[in-house]
């Protein structure tokens, strides 16, 4: 079996949503100290919907494929779904990652969560209230 799925190779070769959103509502950046890879996610949010999302990833092919897939999974979706996106969901949508590359999908989950934290820090009134 090939080490990487067709989907990983596709998103690595043709990453979706690469770039910067200048007037982003939330920006999240994370890095992995061991491999040195860095991922940055930009979110545009209107009416609790992620209307646009872009990423810049300085990292391995799996990190690029994970960022690309993660942005596809949350684009056009409610903020609540973006908040609950897991790295497992990203890896599954890519038809799996090799075990030693799972941390690359974790970066995508963390970058999105950081971007949403940034959004809530700028717009505290949007933060869901605890029951």
Q: Name the residues annotated as catalytic.
A: 35, 104
Angstrom distance (rounded) from CA 4 to CA 102 = 12
- Min. distance of Cβ 19 from ligand FES in angstroms? 19
- Min. distance of Cβ 101 from ligand FES in angstroms? 6
Determine the length of the chain.
131
The answer to whether 53 and 42 are in contact (CB under 8 A) is: yes
- Taking CB atoms, the residue at the shortest distance from ligand FES is 35
Nearer to ligand FES, 32 or 44 (CB): 32
Q: Is 47 left (phi over 0), alpha (psi -120 to 50) or beta?
A: left
- Identify the bridge partners of residue 18 per DSSP, sorted by sequence position: 55
**Residues found near ligand FES in the complex (CB under 6 A):** 32, 35, 37, 59-60, 62-63, 101, 103-104, 107
Q: Give which of 43, 73, 37 is closest to 55, Cα–Cα.
A: 43
Nearer to ligand FES, 99 or 124 (CB): 99
Nearer to ligand FES, 16 or 77 (CB): 16
């Amino acid at each position: 079996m090939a080490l990487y799925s067709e989907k990983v190779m596709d998103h690595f070769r043709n990453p979706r949503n690469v770039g910067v959103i200048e007037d982003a509502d939330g920006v999240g950046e994370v890095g992995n100290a061991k491999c040195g890879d860095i991922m940055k996610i930009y979110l545009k949010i209107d009416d609790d919907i992620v209307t646009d999302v872009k990423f810049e990833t300085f990292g391995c092919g799996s990190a690029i494929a994970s960022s690309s897939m993660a942005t596809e999974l949350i684009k056009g979706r409610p903020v609540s779904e973006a908040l609950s996106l897991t790295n497992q969901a990203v890896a599954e949508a890519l038809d799996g990652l090799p075990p030693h590359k799972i941390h690359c999908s974790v970066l995508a989950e963390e970058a999105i969560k950081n971007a949403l934290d940034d959004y809530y820090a700028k717009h505290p009134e949007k933060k869901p209230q605890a029951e």
